[in-house]
Amino acid sequence: MLTDLLQDVSLFRILHQIDRDLAELCRQARCPYCQHSLHYAPYLRKPRGGPEKIPEEYLWRFSLCCGREGCRRRVLPPSCMFMGRRVYWHAVILIVMTLRQARANGIGANRLMEMFSIPRKTIVRWISYFREEFTASREWLQLRGLVDATVDSGNLPGSLVEHFLSYYSSAAGGLVACLKFFATGQAR
């Protein structure tokens, strides 16, 4: 069910629109350093794990640049599609980690490596990140207060994804809400 979403271009269309809206809100807020106007300066990414026939416009990461000479600093708006500098789509990372943590279904690291063509080292790195870095991060400490106590911090991001899936009638709706939560901190 979740794995099918990663081949659905309409999921990425929704995420791209959310990212576009977030970038526009950020642009309207002006430069956080000098309050001058911001201009679009997107850059091309080559994310892995999504549909083969994804439109090229979805591969561009929204970025903004200050228009004032002397400042010209970049501002990176929040994103539902991309997780920092990681080369896999944010949705891929969340789904793979959720499937890995829900071992009752029998999806181990070897099967995930087969299904998504992800090296073992990458999966191990993601596990380590969510167990050690993310749970201690300021980002998670701020987000933690916005979700139920039933979300297990030791089982992230799987418990968070499952939390959002339980509130939506469709897996796509729950995943989009979870990705938006990671990007903006808005629970709904």
**What average pLDDT does range 31-55 have in this prediction?**
94
The string of pLDDT tens digits covering residues 81-130 is 999 999 999 999 999 999 988 755 657 888 888 888 899 999 999 999 99
Domain extents in the chain: 2-184
The DSSP annotation for the chain comes to -HHHHTT-HHHHHHHHHHHHHHHHHHHHH--TTT---EEE--EE---BSS-TT--GGGGEEP-EEE-STTT--EE----SSB-TT-SBBHHHHHHHHHHHH-GGG---HHHHHHHHT--HHHHHHHHHIIIIIIHHSHHHHHHHTTS-TTS-GGGTTHHHHHHHHTTSSSHHHHHHHHHHHHHH----
Q: Which of 58, 61, 44 is nearest to 11 (CA)?
A: 58
Q: What is the mean pLDDT of the chain?
A: 91
pLDDT at residue number 104: 59
The string of pLDDT tens digits covering residues 19-31 is 999 999 999 999 9
pLDDT at residue number 45: 95
pTM of the model as a whole? 0.91
pLDDT at residue number 105: 60
